[in-house]
Homo-oligomer: A and B are copies of this chain.
Amino acid sequence: MRQPDRHSNQPLYQQIADDIERRISYGEFPPGSLLPSERKLAEQLGVNRSTVILAYAELRALGIVESRTGSGTRVSKYKWGATPKHTPNWHRYVEGGSFLPNLPFLRRVREALQQDNTLIDFASGELGADISPVKEINTLMDENHYTAYLGYADPQGFGPLREALVTYLSQYRGIQTTESSILITSGSQQSLYLITQCLLAPGDAVAIEDPSYCYSLPIFQSAGLRLFRLPVDAKGIRPEDVRSLYKKHRIKMVFVNPNYQNPTGIALDAGRRIELLDVASELGLPIVEDDPFSLTAYNGMPPQPLKSMDPIGSVLYIGSFSKIAASGLRVGWMVAPHSVVDRLADARQQMDFGLSVVPQQVAAQFLKSPYVQPHLERLRMHLLYKRDLLISALRQELPDLVSFSIPQGGLHLWCKIIPEVSDNKLFEEAIRHGVIFVPGSVYGSDSGYVRFTFARPKTDEIVPGIAKFAAALRAVLAQSN
């Protein structure tokens, strides 16, 4: 049979299943005939037995083959017998949809983490259990009786949560707003998704940072948007670039992550913030400010959000609990003009009929609790400690092979690999060595960059994790010489 293509985005088991389905339909394997044993086929194709098992399971699910323990796997009589019965070719449907799948690297990250839970995880962009307010939230959930009738909730979000956010945003971010200007979402991801779906149309040009988290989101391509890059230097993006992109391409929106940007960790320079707002108001251009990290500022003095300096309302502000408290609550928010809030809430009704009130109640309780301030202080200390562990480990293990600038907030360190190295080789080698990260190309950068999320691994995993990474890097460099 056909050797599966290891460089294809399509999983091996799927390629094998497709090949067998094709051969069956061509009559190569008649109804009732015996297929090669899993072991035999695995050898023949040079894949793991588990891969063949998966391929056969897929074909069973499609009713194309039948297995009986002992008697092996046979082509289904039922499906290919006298009266032909056709299972929909699900695989073709799966490939046919208009919404684009995740980038292969990100799927591979998820797959690798599912397959091996001993991997030291510098990839997942979230807080580890050790610095998440798990105890506090559980205490609140135990203390508070959630008696609300669980009917369909307010499409704009749970009222008390929006009230709590008005206070929170004013107190912690200097943003003055009202309940009616807040839309509760399931996180920044959904906020961005709603904006791309409801405020932009296919063919519209938008500007994103380079490198940028946005680049890793197929939602932009799925919406048919044309992406233009705003290079990020040591002070963030250059507002002048926004003006020239507008002149050249009539960009309709600018997406920025100004506070400890993902992946670079850079905070947009204060002067440039003012320039950026001036350019935006000069051009009547909306800015989407994604602000998940600012309260992690290690010195306790987070940068001012653009939204707090935005008198004329150019900024759509996006926030969330995911990076400062618990990603699993799935609670985020957007501050926007009423017309935008209404439009997005209406569309969200169509997509998922709104969020469960349960996590919204928990989030509201948390914001009103005395836990927030102490948790944030503790979080900052822990992140700083983990950042320093990572930095010293990198300096120890790879003194001449990596370079990076030191982030003053956020969860990530953006690291350049000095010698030439293939993202793909380094990534796979690292996994073999028991450590995982996100390759820079996921964020649209050139090969040879790595995003380390130091917030996720336990403190005692960071040093060994970097040792494994260093070993992997050396192995790859040795191969290429």
- Residues 337-365 of chain A, each 1 if its beta carbon lies under 8 Å from chain B, else 0: 11110110011011111111111001000
Chain B residues with CB under 8 Å of A62's CB are 312-313, 337
Interface size bucket, A side? Answer: 35 or more
Asked if residues B97 and A187 are in contact (CB atoms below 8 Å), the reply is no
Q: Which of A39-72 contact B (CB under 8 A)?
A: 57-58, 61-63
Asked if residues A350 and B219 are in contact (CB atoms below 8 Å), the reply is yes
With A126-B151, A200-B96, A339-B58: A349-B88 Cβ-Cβ less than 8 Å? no
Q: Which of A343-389 contact B (CB under 8 A)?
A: 343, 346-347, 349-359, 362
Q: Which of A76-94 contact B (CB under 8 A)?
A: 78-79, 84-91, 93-94
Asked if residues B152 and A281 are in contact (CB atoms below 8 Å), the reply is no
- Residues 203-241 of chain A, each 1 if its beta carbon lies under 8 Å from chain B, else 0: 010000000000001110011100000000000000000
Chain B residues with CB under 8 Å of A97's CB are 197-201, 343, 347
Asked if residues A87 and B351 are in contact (CB atoms below 8 Å), the reply is no
Considering the complex, give the chain B residue whose CB is closest to the CB of A134: B149
Q: Among the listed B186, B187, B201, B286, which residue makes an inter-chain contact with A88, where contact means beta carbons less than 8 Å apart? A: B286
User: A141 within 8 Å of B by Cβ?
Assistant: yes
Q: Which of A417-453 contact B (CB under 8 A)?
A: none
Chain B residues with CB under 8 Å of A150's CB are 132, 134, 137, 326-329
In this complex, the member of A89, A145, A312, A342 whose beta carbon has the largest number of chain B beta carbons within 10 angstroms is: A312
With A181-B61, A347-B99: A91-B339 Cβ-Cβ less than 8 Å? yes
In this complex, the member of A336, A352, A357 whose beta carbon has the largest number of chain B beta carbons within 10 angstroms is: A352
Q: Among the listed B96, B223, B356, which residue makes an inter-chain contact with A356, where contact means beta carbons less than 8 Å apart? A: B356
User: A138 within 8 Å of B by Cβ?
Assistant: yes
With A94-B340, A339-B91, A362-B358: A85-B281 Cβ-Cβ less than 8 Å? yes
Q: Among the listed B57, B78, B110, B311, which residue makes an inter-chain contact with A63, where contact means beta carbons less than 8 Å apart? A: B311
User: A283 within 8 Å of B by Cβ?
Assistant: yes
Q: Among the listed B98, B126, B190, B328, which residue makes an inter-chain contact with A352, where contact means beta carbons less than 8 Å apart? A: B190
Could you tell me the distance in whole angstroms from the C-beta of A358 to the nearest C-beta in chain B?
5
Chain B residues with CB under 8 Å of A126's CB are 151-152
With A147-B134, A313-B62, A337-B58: A155-B282 Cβ-Cβ less than 8 Å? no
Considering the complex, give the chain B residue whose CB is closest to the CB of A141: B146
Q: Among the listed B78, B127, B149, B201, which residue makes an inter-chain contact with A129, where contact means beta carbons less than 8 Å apart? A: B149
- Residues 238-256 of chain A, each 1 if its beta carbon lies under 8 Å from chain B, else 0: 0000000000000010000
Chain B residues with CB under 8 Å of A155's CB are 110
Asked if residues A102 and B350 are in contact (CB atoms below 8 Å), the reply is yes
Please list 8 pairs of residues, one from A and one from B, whose beta carbons are closer than 8 Å in the complex, sorted by A's number: A84-B282, A98-B202, A124-B152, A126-B152, A149-B328, A217-B350, A330-B355, A351-B351
Please name the 9 residue pairs, one residue from A and one from B, whose CB atoms are nearest each other, closest first: A150-B328, A86-B284, A150-B326, A63-B312, A97-B198, A330-B356, A129-B149, A88-B286, A85-B281
Q: A86-B281, A90-B336, A330-B353 are in contact. List 11 more A-B contacts (CB 8 A).
A: A63-B311, A88-B313, A93-B252, A93-B286, A97-B343, A99-B197, A134-B147, A186-B356, A190-B353, A330-B354, A356-B359
